[in-house]
């Protein structure tokens, strides 16, 4: 094979660099995680697939979640909801961050929108395409939602528009500030406020079909029999905050791109933060901070190759980092696991989060668009 032939044979895929790295998403883990929640809580499940399903890929994850019994989908932004409809998902979808200019498109494909103020309500009803709204009450997170002292006015206005046939209030909702803490007084207080909000909404003449408050952790830690729905994000991806036995769905894989021997006293990567104290073999992993490998994790991180943990050495660069293979006889092309579910001794996304001083959510969301996603475990 000549050089041109071999270059074109290794032409990069549409996304991703030369197929060296990939994020493998196990859809059977997503289904397992949804079922794990459904087996212990009475509420229906809204699968939260915002931010491209925390970097896992919104449409495939949404389909798997629906297969496992999720009856709603939730997304932050309007375009995310439109993408799900375009991908053929037909279950109800709620979006909570949208622009007035997006309302027509959302209404056309019957996406439910969150409403926190009278001004928002008026923008929604002036748009005949939008059919379903969820009124949001701020019960303590103080991020969005109706201020409690404006709730009566908001619910009365909504009931007025509902009577005119302009819109239907399908849900009443709020969001927890301390959902991951068992028995948080804040959560119980928020639930109490939402209950009162529901009573006032009923008094205004509204009969919402769903009341929802809890996120993944809150679904387990907060006993809220008067809620019909929980919004599961983190848990869907296997971020296990409550010991449910969830399975991480994403495995980040690569292959060693180059291998070289260096001598004691030689430095590696920018600034030579690492200097070898013995002769050793160093290997290049073709992923960097542009792919979501946190630069600050470099001092503590390691990856799994040939069944052993190899420490990251020197600074993590934009596209690549180096690991110390010691005296192991590694070759270019050797598979490397950056993170996975930990069952083969590899680090988890939670380990990377600890090394980077963040949460696994940010690790997953940060995996860049250059890394192709591959799906396994699709339902037959």
Q: Among residues 217 and 371, whose Cβ is nearest to ligand PLP?
A: 217
**Contact between 34 and ligand PLP per CB under 6 A:** no
* 228 touches 302 (CB < 8 A): no
Q: Give CA angle at 166 (160, 168), nearest 5°.
A: 80
Residues 58-117 that bind ligand PLP (CB under 6 A): 96
- Which member of 130, 159, 234, 257 binds ligand PLP (CB under 6 A)? 234
Q: 3-class SS at 199?
A: helix
Q: Among residues 220 and 262, whose Cβ is nearest to ligand PLP?
A: 220
For the chain, list the strands marked E by DSSP: 22-26, 44-48, 72-77, 93-97, 112-115, 132-136, 168-173, 210-212, 229-232, 250-255, 258-262, 267-268, 274-275, 280-285, 302-305, 308-313, 321-326, 335-339, 373-376
Stretch that binds ligand PLP, among 16-24, 82-90, 213-221, 245-253 (CB under 6 A): 213-221
16 secondary structure, DSSP code: S
110 secondary structure, DSSP code: T
- Which member of 220, 232, 268, 325 binds ligand PLP (CB under 6 A)? 232
Residue 228 CB neighbours (<10 A):
16
- φ/ψ of 12, rounded to 5, equals -60, 150
**Contact between 155 and ligand PLP per CB under 6 A:** no
- Which member of 215, 221, 320, 337 binds ligand PLP (CB under 6 A)? 215
**Contact between 231 and ligand PLP per CB under 6 A:** yes
CA distance 55 to 374: 12
* 250 touches 25 (CB < 8 A): yes
Minimum CB distance to ligand PLP, residue 73 (Å) = 12
Q: Among residues 146 and 215, whose Cβ is nearest to ligand PLP?
A: 215
Q: Give CA angle at 209 (132, 194), nearest 5°.
A: 100
**Contact between 178 and ligand PLP per CB under 6 A:** no
**Contact between 216 and ligand PLP per CB under 6 A:** yes
Minimum CB distance to ligand PLP, residue 253 (Å) = 24
Copy the structure tokens of residue 190. 């928020």
**Contact between 233 and ligand PLP per CB under 6 A:** yes
Stretch that binds ligand PLP, among 187-195, 229-237, 298-306, 335-343 (CB under 6 A): 229-237
Catalytic residues: 50, 270
- Which member of 23, 48, 61, 310 binds ligand PLP (CB under 6 A)? 48
Q: Among residues 215 and 302, whose Cβ is nearest to ligand PLP?
A: 215
- The footprint of ligand PLP (CB under 6 A) covers 48, 50, 96, 175, 215-217, 231-235
């Amino acid at each position: 094979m000549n050089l041109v032939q071999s270059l074109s044979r290794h032409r990069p895929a549409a996304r991703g660099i030369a197929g060296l790295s990939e994020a493998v998403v196990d859809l059977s883990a997503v289904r397992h995680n949804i079922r794990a929640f459904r087996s212990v809580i009475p509420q229906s499940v809204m699968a939260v697939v915002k931010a491209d399903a925390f970097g896992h890929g919104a449409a495939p994850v949404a389909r798997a979640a629906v297969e496992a019994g999720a009856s709603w989908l939730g997304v932050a932004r309007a375009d995310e909801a439109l993408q799900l409809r375009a991908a053929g998902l037909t279950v109800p979808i709620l979006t909570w961050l949208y622009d007035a200019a997006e309302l027509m498109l959302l209404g056309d494909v019957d996406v439910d929108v969150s409403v926190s103020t009278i001004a928002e309500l008026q923008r929604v009803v002036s748009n005949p395409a939008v059919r379903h709204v969820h009124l949001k009450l701020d019960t303590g997170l103080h991020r969005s939602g109706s201020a409690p002292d404006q709730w009566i006015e908001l619910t009365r206005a909504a009931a007025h528009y509902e009577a005119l046939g302009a819109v239907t209030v399908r849900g009443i909702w709020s969001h927890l500030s301390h959902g991951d803490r068992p028995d948080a007084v804040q959560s119980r207080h928020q639930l109490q406020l939402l209950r009162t909000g529901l009573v006032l909404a009923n008094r205004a003449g509204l009969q919402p079909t769903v009341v929802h408050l809890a996120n993944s952790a809150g679904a387990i830690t907060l006993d809220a029999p008067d809620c019909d729905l929980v919004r599961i994000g983190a848990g869907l991806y296997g971020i296990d905050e409550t010991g449910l036995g969830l399975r991480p769905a994403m495995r980040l894989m690569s292959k060693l791109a180059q291998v070289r021997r260096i001598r004691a006293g030689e430095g590696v990567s920018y600034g030579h933060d690492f200097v070898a104290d013995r002769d050793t073999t160093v290997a290049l992993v073709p992923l960097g901070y542009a792919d979501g490998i946190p630069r600050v994790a470099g001092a503590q991180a390691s990856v799994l190759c040939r069944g052993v943990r190899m420490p990251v050495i020197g600074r993590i660069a934009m596209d690549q980092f180096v690991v110390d293979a010691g005296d192991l006889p590694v070759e270019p092309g050797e598979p490397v696991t950056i993170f996975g579910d930990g069952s083969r001794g590899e680090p988890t996304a939670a380990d990377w989060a600890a090394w980077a001083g963040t949460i696994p959510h940010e690790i997953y969301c940060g995996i860049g668009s250059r890394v192709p996603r591959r799906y396994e475990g699709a339902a037959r």
